[in-house]
Amino acid sequence: MIKNSTYNFNGHICKDDNNTPADSPNVKYEITGNATGTFDATYITASGSGANVISASLPWSKEIVVQTGVTTVLLNAAVIGATPSKTITAKIVGVV
């Protein structure tokens, strides 16, 4: 049986635990794992708009410098043709 699985991740861009907005942080989106098939993803760009990745393979990553005023980042990944017992890991990482 072929399954499609969707994973959603989002976060606010802060420079401390008090939710103080960060000034133009670097953000890296990563999708890794041993899942078979391909995936589609949507992520927030440096300017705060959405962008799509269509029929990509694992692993995948994208690094951006978020522009001032953008307060939220998002990564949505949908695996197409997922096989049971395989894994996918999606991360939004702050890069110093």
pLDDT digits (tens, 9 = 90+) for 26-69: 888 888 888 877 888 899 999 999 999 998 888 999 999 988 88
pLDDT for residue 10 is more than 60: no
Residue 15: the pLDDT is: 56
Percent of the chain with pLDDT over 90: 19
pLDDT for residue 75 is more than 60: yes
Cα gap 92→42, rounded to integer Å: 13
Cα gap 31→25, rounded to integer Å: 20
Question: pTM, whole model, 2 decimals?
Answer: 0.76
